[in-house]
Structure 1
Amino acid sequence: MTRRRSVEIDGVTHGNMPVPQGSRIDQFVFSSGIAGIDPETGLIPDDPRRQVQLVFQNMRSFMEVAGGTPDDIGRITVYLQDEEYRDLVNEEWIKMFPNPESRPARHTAVKDLRRGALVQVELIAVLPW
């Protein structure tokens, strides 16, 4: 039996790429890029607020499939198409992590994103044994 297993979110894919949404090895979880893809349609909506909401929804779903919760996330890297979306991310951040004494580390960078994405995240989590 392999120690590593792929983690997939229903309805959220990387298209034709042979890349899973993430990978779990023992209690460690690593994501690929998680975008604001609507799992009902498989599309990224044009609305920035909706995209950010979907990013956080998909992050929560990803953690559930991996066997954990957002409380197990230790670090998140946020990629923004433009700095103007930072406030939208911060709104959802506070909803997902309301306790300022218990939030994951975070790094944010501005970069060109694909497929109409305005926001994307990557995460590292550690699940309880």
Structure 2
Amino acid sequence: MELRTPAYDENYSIRVKRALIQGALTFYTMMGTPAAVNKIIETIFETGYIREWYEYGGDPYHFKAYTTNPAITSDDVEEFKRVLGSVKRLSAWLDEIVLDLSTPATKIYVGHWIHTGDFITLQKATL
């Protein structure tokens, strides 16, 4: 099965190898579709998705790959580009890979406390 698993590489971690082998049959039914590219993004980058050209105003047949995993390396990116050629449709072109590290909007509360008082000088009692 390993020799026919799309995008399989002996250098992958055990986790990635298992995910590729487990989804091989399903993956073959999706080849050439955005779902196949999403599956590869999730397998190599652990998290991510694609946006088609009409979703961001790009050129026809182009897409962008997004990931939110801050631990990806340049080797992961190169591997993704290598594998992408075998799973995407031939008419699709990758514009860029975007590492999205944005955080959701949140409310920030600030408080302060002021204390004012008088100084009292104590003197030693004499007997």
Which structure has more relative contact order (CA 8 Å, sep 6+)? It is: 1
Report the TM-score when normalising by structure 2.
0.30
Query: Which structure is higher in strand share?
Result: 1
Over alpha carbons, which structure has the higher Rg?
2
